[in-house]
Chains A and B, each alone.
Chain A
Amino acid sequence: MTPEASRPPTRGEASSAVAAVRLEGLVKRFGDAGTGAGAGTGAGDTSGSASADTVLAVAGIDLDIADGEFFSMLGPSGSGKTTTLRMIAGFELPTAGRILLHGEDVTDRPPFERDVNTVFQDYALFPHMSVADNVAYGLVVRKVPGPERQARVADALRMVRLEGYDRRRPGQLSGGQRQRVALARALVNRPRVLLLDEPLGALDLKLREEMQIELKAIQQAVGITFVYVTHDQQEALTMSDRLAVFNRGRIEQVGTPADVYERPATRFVAGFVGTSNLLSGETARAIVGGSGTFTVRPEKIRLAEPDSQPAPDEASAMGTIREVVYLGPDTRYIVALDAGGELVVTQQNIATSSMEALSAKGRTVRLTWKRQHNLPVGEE
């Protein structure tokens, strides 16, 4: 494969039926084959390992990521999402299964033979090189001629809004600026797939929210497939075209943010993406009127006076406010249900002061919500 030059520009290529990334039965077990390398990838406490010495980090994953897609891998630490990303990049070799990039089997290829680039969690900038040299690195080792190289480096730095920083060293930059250099260094190679490993994890909240918007804008501008690993469900919902929810080395659900949030396939997804408001068993029968497990998102529930009458299309339950958490724009109420179990309710503080909100503790209330917001959840 000739990664440079001969390829047409990636922009607007998102048509083909061939997946940008295709994973088939991917398995990674650490501790086999006696290699010490590659341990410590954050795939620590994965259960389901076959023996005491080996850790099953990825337990069989099938996945298609379309060309031009912003795809997130969401899951708690140790769920196998980072290991999966590292296998796509080529830093880890799978124990079993195949990896195809645009239809080409790259399972056993070294990282430098794959048309992907990675933005690392710790940025992995070369401390002995200037910003410009860092960004130019991929072009230099692939022997892109000087004038073209300089033009592309300048373009990349402009895209991440770091013009004028080219002579600085990484050590002289702030976290957010380093993050941008890492992004420019990867994008300047015009990979067909960009892998991002929790790239915003080290930034503070405000900067993170700004970078989310900026990353999404850059992705739409360049049209490159982004595969984005995060443990932050908010981030995944905000940025992704589609996302996969990882748990214990497997994918629990793949879908659009709305799919995953409003129709969680499993109990785990319901809990991890948003607040776990689960009604099951007797409680479910009493309130929802059906058997199985249901979830109701906390912002869909309304607090009403105990003697109010629910509308015909509404479900309702009586309970006592056990705890009130004031969050600024919202207040979160934890309500112990008379029928058993608890529900979390969030209300915007449109007309409520903190005093009023906090004084609600201990009060008996009626919770009402539209029946359509009772979401059935599949069992594991």
Chain B
Amino acid sequence: MSTPTDARAGPGTRPGIARRLAIWLHPRQGLQLRLLLAGPLGWLAIAYLGALAILLLNAFWEKDAFTGRVEPFAWTLNAFRDLFGHEVYRTVAVRTLIMAVLVTLTDALLAFPIAYYMARIATPRVRAMLVIAVLMPLWAAYLVKVYAWRTILQGNGFMEWALSPFGVESPGLDEIANSWLVLSYLWLPYMILPIYAGLERIPNSLLEASADLGAKAGATFRRVILPLVFPAFVAGSIFTFSLTLGDYITPDLVSDAKFIGNVIYDNSSLGNLPLAAAYSLLPIGIMTVYLLIARRLGAFDSL
């Protein structure tokens, strides 16, 4: 590193090596960019795309029926034949998709009033506190939160204690509704934050103009606020939808219904890696389509 005194060095003194390098690099902007990005892009290419590529290849490789070993470069479509041949894989896929949609809608409904209050009503002090309150759960470990829900939901848990006076039994740890409840809780902050940012970007004068032109609160909401904040909803849904689509721990811990992730996990640990790989292409495909639609709806401008 060159020191600040270098900058004031007279023309006679010879600049240090770091300074000479900086001077040499100055007109070579393309090279600067490449040096800067080489590390992170290399990491992405190897660790992320590389892993994905191997996964993709696995889906087309043969698994030896006797040894259970995957034979690299032994091309076959057996994994896909298995997937399409058994009804259960379709059921699990549809169940996971419906859950992802339900969690997304639930979070959208819960997030909007909170985000609206934060962005447009709360005083700066309250707003700061609410932002912290929304972010706080993200600081806690995922497993801790899910186990907390287990203790709430299980027999003799909080839920049973709260519901028994009304003659309602504890949901136990079998119900698929538990997954809906816990996943909605887990991903809610990811929905609140983009909507909050989206609402904050709407200038007050637009709402005043709407009222000025004769619109009551409901009409202003439908015609001005909702259309303007819709891309933020889509942005939030990218998180809630994809995180639900890929989750397998929560369904495993709070219910007995299997999701796509559970099937992939079970198969990869039991050794049918080609099947797991083939099945994992489904959520990847769904998310690709989802992201393309989200981009058309302007969601990426809201992130």
Contact = CB atoms under 8 A, between A and B. Distances in A.
A113 to B, nearest CB: 9
B130 interface: no
Contact of B213 (A110, A122, A127, A137): A137
B161 to A, nearest CB: 39
Given A127-B228, A128-B227, A137-B223, A112 B215 contact: yes
Contact of B214 (A3, A91, A127): A3
A125 B206 CA distance: 7
A158 interface: no
A84 interface: no
Contact of A142 (B124, B212, B214, B224): B214
Contacts of A137: 210, 213, 215, 223
Contact of A122 (B123, B124, B205): B205
A121 B223 CA distance: 22
Contact of A185 (B123, B213, B227): B213
A138 B214 CA distance: 6
B208 interface: yes
Interface residues of B, number: 21
B219 interface: yes
Interface string B94-137: 00000000000000000000000000011110000000000000
Given A122-B203, A142-B214, A189-B214, A111 B208 contact: yes
A185 B214 CA distance: 12
Contacts of B203: 122, 124
B211 A124 contact: no
Most buried by B among A89, A90, A137: A137
A36 to B, nearest CB: 5
Nearest to B206: A124
Interface string A1-16: 0010000000000000
B216 interface: yes
Interface string B211-237: 111111001000110011000000000
B188 to A, nearest CB: 25
Contact of B209 (A3, A118, A128, A142): A118
Contacts of B224: 126
A120 B210 CA distance: 12
Given A122-B203, A124-B206, A112 B211 contact: yes
A50 interface: no
A331 interface: no
Given A126-B206, A137-B223, A117 B228 contact: no
Given A112-B215, A189-B214, A124 B209 contact: yes
Query: In the complex, which of the residues B211, B212, B215 has the most CB atoms of chain A within 10 Å of its own CB atom?
Result: B212
Contacts of A185: 209, 213
A117 B211 contact: no
Contacts of B213: 112, 117, 137-138, 141, 185-186, 189
A159 to B, nearest CB: 17
A11 to B, nearest CB: 21
Contact of A141 (B124, B208, B223, B228): B223
A89 B219 CA distance: 19
Give 3 closest A-B pairs by Cβ, nearest first. Answer: A138-B213, A124-B205, A124-B209
Given A124-B208, A128-B228, 20 more contacts: A3-B214, A90-B212, A91-B211, A111-B211, A112-B214, A112-B215, A112-B216, A118-B208, A118-B212, A122-B205, A124-B206, A124-B209, A126-B224, A128-B227, A137-B215, A140-B223, A141-B210, A141-B219, A186-B213, A189-B213
